[in-house]
Structure 1
Amino acid sequence: MLDLAVEAHDLARARTGKEIPGVRVEKEEHPYALVTTVQVETEEAERLMQKPKGTYITIESSALLENNRQIHQELIKLLGEKLSLLLKDLPETASALIVGLGNWHATPDALGPRTVDYTLVTRHLFHYAPQELRGGLREVSALAPGVLGTTGIETAEIIRGVVEKIKPDVVITIDALAARSVARIATSIQLADTGISPGSGIGNDRAGINRETMGVPVIAVGVPTVVHAAFIAQDAMERLWQELNQHPRLREVYKYLHPELVQRVIDQLLAPFGGRLMVTPKEIDTLVQNTARILAGGLAVALHPGMNPEEAYLYL
């Protein structure tokens, strides 16, 4: 299953050779980003897309890779606006629990905990500070529960226990995703109102974190930090086929490169890793840190009515 809805939609269209019934796609162009909204509306679309019914908003921007404060402020503003759309049914007094999913000891999987590090938390102010210090803020708390391998506890169990105790009106999860294309690493932010299944992108499904399991709305925010090695190999072979097919003398070779043969070779190469070898850039530590700051800024803008993007960036 693909983590990104835009990739799942493209794959479903390629597989069926037609538009997917029950799926609506809208695109918006912004100065530094392209925003694609995919709405999965029917059970048939859910089956074909292999994504739960709901709204998926993807912000694509190569500027996420740049260390440009002005552009990052614009992206924080855009992210805040799109997050606010998913939170529009909540009152201004609603409280939120931000959950940073992932393993802080593994850099490609540390996006969630790093975002929690930068998050503006205010729940303690609502309990201990004077009223004048709460203006324009919502009650926000944050949690980085770790992973099953280091805690021995299912992540969903930890979150559910906290939710039952502090009773937030919404849970917002932050997680690293797996992409189909290397071009999407640290350049795409996906927002979804469907919740999340931690580890699903790398074939390691855990208990779902969604409205059904938590009892409150769950908004999922994710950024791709890894790509399956198999996808890179497949893309390389597809480009090779295109090159071979353009040269008359090499077309005979092209005829013998059947997809089944190529897939068998890829499977043999990845067999020592169980077919699940993941690839990430060598500068992933910097990318995760910068992206975490932008996500935390977007959360601050969306959750705190009195916060603007410039102020949010200062808190980072």
Structure 2
Amino acid sequence: MTKSIHKRLGRPISILPTKQRLAYSPRTDLAIEAREMMVGKPAPIEGLDESEEHLEGITITRVHVKTKVAERKIGKKKGQYITLEAPGLRRRDPDLQERVTEAFANELKSLIQLPERASILVIGLGNRDVTPDALGPQVVQKLFVTRHLFHYMPQILGDGKGYRSVSAVAPGVLGITGIETSEIVQGLVENMRPDAVIVIDALAARSLSRVNSTIQIADSGIQPGAGVGNHRKPINQETLGIPVLAIGIPTVVEAATIAGDTIELVLEELRRKVPGNAANAIFDRFNTREKVDLVREVLTPVGHNLVVTPKEIDEFLTDMAKVVAQGLNVALHPAMTLEDAALFMH
């Protein structure tokens, strides 16, 4: 750096080396945000297909990363990413929740394309004792699991038509079990031999507006903990040998991202109302990455990364776990209606 930030700011502050700074981008698990964060107005990318559909109160965005080139540019693994955005979910609107559930189930069906007699293993990732991370365990509690019924009480399902063999587990987290989640999943897959795995996890978003109002479905698998910088071994088709579908809802945003956006808004307002003010004279000397570095250092005491979640996270998570579980029940069991699926909510 030709001129250090601490000299321009007038106080000492350490900044990451240039090579590390260039690698930084605001954390997000959402493919739609990774696309939006590309510098300037996004131009068409070879090997990347995009489409958007608008329903009542719901926007469905489909991003298909088809090549290694597109994978590198967008920073997401090859695969299909479907994002359902419904800002009204934060108002806890029951009618909208039902419409989102139906739309989610339809998108899930179109992406996974399961045979009639397929067996599915659902994995609910996360720590059930940490609310923003408890999406997976909460969804698993609300699923209609049938594998044991097919084995021990087949008469309950009649001839079994319209129902698939579904099993579910919430394996916990490494800090509690001492076992990598991927090792647990691999062991289950080797013994149970399901036709597909569905992984559910809480995600991190770039934008606070997408927290608790967005669902992402991806056929590229998942890397547990990636959104908050705690990378674990991936769970995908390459590691398991069968199709892996990942379902996630953003529940947190990095604090540095919010603070950085706030500073930019304040500075923009000052530029508009007080041209030539001292604050702009100082901060306009920094490029975007340097501003983010400054915010991250202030908000990262003793090496801890801070993330933010809404204070209503308990209510939101209960609602969203219900939406995902009902959608899964309908998508995995063709004979089940939304009304039937609602009976399993508790």
Give the TM-score, by structure 2 length.
0.87
Bigger shift: 216-225 or 16-25? 16-25
Picking from 207, 212, 221, the partner of 2:233 is 207
Query: Are 2:210 and 1:184 equivalent residues in the alignment?
Result: yes
Q: Give the distance between the partners of 2:88 and 2:293, measured in 1 at CA.
A: 37
Written as runs of structure 1 = structure 2, the 5 A alignment for 1:138-157 is: 138-157=164-183
Q: Find the counterpart in structure 2 of residue 79 from structure 1.
A: 104
Mapped contact 1:74–1:309 kept (Cα < 8 A): no
Q: Find the counterpart in structure 2 of residue 56 from structure 1.
A: 81
Q: Percent of aligned pairs with the same residue?
A: 45
Q: Give the distance between the partners of 1:275 and 1:221, measured in 2 at CA.
A: 27
Query: Are 2:117 and 1:93 equivalent residues in the alignment?
Result: yes
Q: Give the distance between the partners of 2:116 and 2:83, measured in 1 at CA.
A: 25
Letter of the 1:8 counterpart: A
Deviations along 1:289-316, one digit per CA (max 9) or x if unpaired, are 1110110001011100101122212221
Q: Secondary structure at the match of 2:200?
A: strand
Picking from 287, 297, 321, the partner of 1:268 is 297
Q: Find the counterpart in structure 2 of residue 102 from structure 1.
A: 126
Q: Give the distance between the partners of 1:210 and 1:164, measured in 2 at CA.
A: 14
Picking from 74, 92, 99, the partner of 1:67 is 92
Following superposition, the deviation at residue 29 of structure 1 comes to 0.3
Letter of the 1:104 counterpart: R
Deviations along 1:185-208, one digit per CA (max 9) or x if unpaired, are 100000000000000010000000
Alpha-carbon distance change, 300 to 210 in structure 1, aligned in 2, over 3 angstroms: same
Mapped contact 1:77–1:298 kept (Cα < 8 A): yes
Alpha-carbon distance change, 71 to 253 in structure 1, aligned in 2, over 3 angstroms: closer
Q: Give the distance between the partners of 1:249 and 1:192, measured in 2 at CA.
A: 46
Query: Are 2:344 and 1:315 equivalent residues in the alignment?
Result: yes
Following superposition, the deviation at residue 273 of structure 1 comes to 5.1
Q: Secondary structure at the match of 2:275?
A: helix
Bigger shift: 21-30 or 196-205? 21-30
Alpha-carbon distance change, 7 to 273 in structure 1, aligned in 2, over 3 angstroms: farther
Mapped contact 2:223–2:233 kept (Cα < 8 A): yes
Mapped contact 2:300–2:306 kept (Cα < 8 A): no
Picking from 150, 166, 172, the partner of 2:198 is 172
Following superposition, the deviation at residue 21 of structure 1 comes to 2.7
Query: Are 2:76 and 1:47 equivalent residues in the alignment?
Result: no
Query: Are 2:163 and 1:134 equivalent residues in the alignment?
Result: no
Unaligned runs of 5+ in 2: 1-26
Q: Find the counterpart in structure 1 of residue 145 from structure 2.
A: 121
Deviations along 1:54-98, one digit per CA (max 9) or x if unpaired, are 10000000232233333222111111000001112x211111111
Q: Give the distance between the partners of 2:311 and 2:64, measured in 1 at CA.
A: 34
Larger Rg: 2
Mapped contact 2:63–2:80 kept (Cα < 8 A): yes
Following superposition, the deviation at residue 125 of structure 1 comes to 1.2
Mapped contact 2:48–2:65 kept (Cα < 8 A): yes
Mapped contact 1:13–1:20 kept (Cα < 8 A): no
Bigger shift: 271-280 or 258-267? 258-267
Give the TM-score, by structure 1 length.
0.94
Following superposition, the deviation at residue 49 of structure 1 comes to 1.1
Mapped contact 1:195–1:208 kept (Cα < 8 A): yes
Q: Find the counterpart in structure 2 of residue 35 from structure 1.
A: 60
Q: Secondary structure at the match of 2:230?
A: coil
Q: Find the counterpart in structure 2 of residue 290 from structure 1.
A: 319
Mapped contact 1:182–1:227 kept (Cα < 8 A): yes
Bigger shift: 150-159 or 16-25? 16-25
